[in-house]
Chain A
Amino acid sequence: MIFRLRLRANAAVAATVPLLGLVLLYVLAEEAGGGPDGYWTAATAKAASALMFIAPVVAACAAWEAGRLRRAGVGGGAPVRGGVRIAAASLMPVLLLGLLALAVALAGVRAQMGAAPGWPDPPILGAAVATLGGYLLVGYALGLWLLPAASLPVALVGGYLWQVYPPALEPLWLRHLTQPARGCCVSVDTVAAGGVAGPVLTAVALAAVALAATTVSRHAPRRGAPAPAGLALVVVPALLVATAAGAGAVRAVSDLGPDAVVARPPAELVCTDAAAVRVCVWPEHEARLEETAQVVREAVTGLTPVGVKPPDLVTEHLGPSGEPASDTRWTVTVRGSAGFTTDDIRAGLAADLAMSLLDRHESPRAGDCPADEVKAADEGFEAADQLLAWLAVRAGMDPGQAHARFDPQLWTAVGPVLDGDDAAQAAWYRSALDRAGCAPW
């Protein structure tokens, strides 16, 4: 009976299968390009990005439902139930469809993640639900004001454009008004507060405008015709709220760049000690902590004799300004997927270390580099590539594996070096750093 009265004829029922299918196709196709790697904040943001399909459909269904109430003249039938109750009865299935689609998006992303400690990110989910609410009310207001032939396309196409077009526009922060956590996240990031607050405040502004539009619509089903004073009591505060929320939304996102992210707090790291070095990874990579620690042990063992000072800390955390490493702190990249091998961890460690060493190495004197800038750059980059391959092998990578990963031409120079003793390799390492310094890093 509830199905017959509330659901059967509701637009949400007809939209369910196409929308859920579209959402699943979207999230599964997206995952093929690189998933959130067990990181729930990234997974939630990915699911929330499906709002570009969900929100316009919710708005269109709400517009259709409002149009049904309008055409049926429900308000003229002297209803006992209030306008909010009547609207809620029609809109609740639509909202449930939106929530279901969001849940399906989240489940689709989750299915691709493998091990994933923790839960979906509540602020992003809350902001996504708020965005849905805003679209729902705007769709409802459109349905009351426009005929279905106009309200449906406006809600569907307009809603979709508002989701996908702002990212193509300047200023960059405009995109963050449209959906939460846009551009979020890789494992070293977390969502910026503005990336959540912006869309929530935008949704509040849209909802307030929709409320004002609904209140003044003569087609709105309601218990009694509102007095002008009553109208003003709703409309004026609603417009004030819309203005304040809109201004707040712009303020919240105006500092954001293309992605609504900030550095992930290091407090989330899980750590272990590998000899004198502390090794830390993100919690979603905890299963590979021991493996990472072993890589670090081997790297320290291989690199210390040739003059590379061992760090105090090896971590996945990049630091607040994204610096890759320092004298006492190396960075490492870990992934949860089985396709990311131990040698991938080792190669990442070597690459970060190489960049760090180059960054910190004093530039050679002018006379030590070729006078020709192009030639100096070529030699510098070649020396950096050799250094990276050498670091990888010294850090414990199997030479055969290293041959497969790096340019074969490098081994003409690096192979004989690796055959030398530690003292010779230390000397080569210092000279390679000097030569690499000739490139314009």
Chain B
Amino acid sequence: MSVEFDSCTYRYRRGPVVLDGFSFRFPPGRTVLLGPNGAGKTTLLTLGSSSLKPRSGVVTFAGLRTGRRSELRDYRRQVGWLPQQVTPVAGMSCREQVAYAGWLKGMPRAAAWAAAVPALDRVGLAKKADQQTGSLSGGQLRRVGVAQTLVHSSRLVLMDEPTAGLDPAQRTTFRRVVEQLAEVADVIVSTHQTEDLWEVYDHVVVLADGRVHFTGTVAEFHAVAPVDAAPGRVAEAAYAAVLGGGEDW
């Protein structure tokens, strides 16, 4: 069971068509979504989160469609969503913001409040639970965003560039979070960082120009790399090979 896009088309107002008849079923487990800027990764994940509605086509997860109002509430209950931009809610502490996110996702207030600190603990921010989110660094705020996706029991977690702005130690924490998450949910992460694919993800999807250019396991992805690729740069080489050398991107 994973999220499926069927003939989805999306264009922003007064903008180009980003996805045109896009059909793809993400594999279950931990999936990394790679692709150059403007490839449509954010749009795809936002459609998956149901924050955007495709102009045409169907997005389905666990038999629930985002286009049906009667199913949208249940769909959203299943999906955790970390957008690229995590914004502090003015005046709220970390715990309050995470609990508020849980409440927005349909949790009862008491349950959301109780679940907030464990969620912050998983991203290493338990000690800052009472600190105002407005005073956090960019990396810390991003971790609060991750905690917001953990606070409710999602079965699908979508994260758009969650490691941007994280230092190496924080990225290690994030890897642990994804590993733990994968035990209970499918995880799709868009990123530009390819160095730790092997350690974190099961599958790789490469998106460019609104089309899937590669889908397979990490091993299959690495196999695309030229044989003379330097050790430690295999993923980069594979990525370039999938996109035809990279000069067009």
Contact = CB atoms under 8 A, between A and B. Distances in A.
B109 A1 contact: yes
Interface residues of B, number: 35
B56 interface: no
B104 interface: yes
B76 A1 contact: no
A269 to B, nearest CB: 53
Interface in A1-15: 1-2, 4-6, 8-9
Given A73-B83, A78-B79, A5 B112 contact: yes
Interface in B88-135: 88-92, 95-96, 99-101, 103-106, 109-110, 112-113
A77 interface: yes
Given A5-B96, A5-B100, A77-B83, A71 B53 contact: no
A225 interface: yes
Interface stretch (A79-87, A134-142, A259-267, A352-360): A79-87
B75 to A, nearest CB: 9
B52 interface: yes
Interface of A: 1-2, 4-6, 8-9, 68, 71-81, 86, 89, 223-225
A223 B90 CA distance: 22
Given A86-B104, A225-B52, A78 B73 contact: no
B31 interface: no
Interface in B40-97: 49-53, 66, 69, 72-73, 76-77, 79, 81, 83, 85, 87-92, 95-96
A86 B103 CA distance: 9
Contacts of B90: 9, 68, 71-72
A5 B99 contact: yes
Nearest to B48: A78
A224 B81 contact: no
B88 A8 contact: no
A71 B113 CA distance: 22
A5 B50 contact: no
Contacts of A80: 73, 76-77, 104-106
Contacts of A86: 104
Contacts of B53: 224-225
A224 B106 contact: no
26 contacts: A4-B96, A4-B113, A5-B99, A6-B109, A8-B91, A9-B90, A9-B92, A9-B96, A72-B88, A73-B83, A75-B51, A76-B83, A77-B51, A78-B49, A79-B76, A79-B105, A80-B73, A80-B106, A81-B105, A81-B106, A86-B104, A223-B72, A223-B76, A224-B50, A224-B66, A224-B72
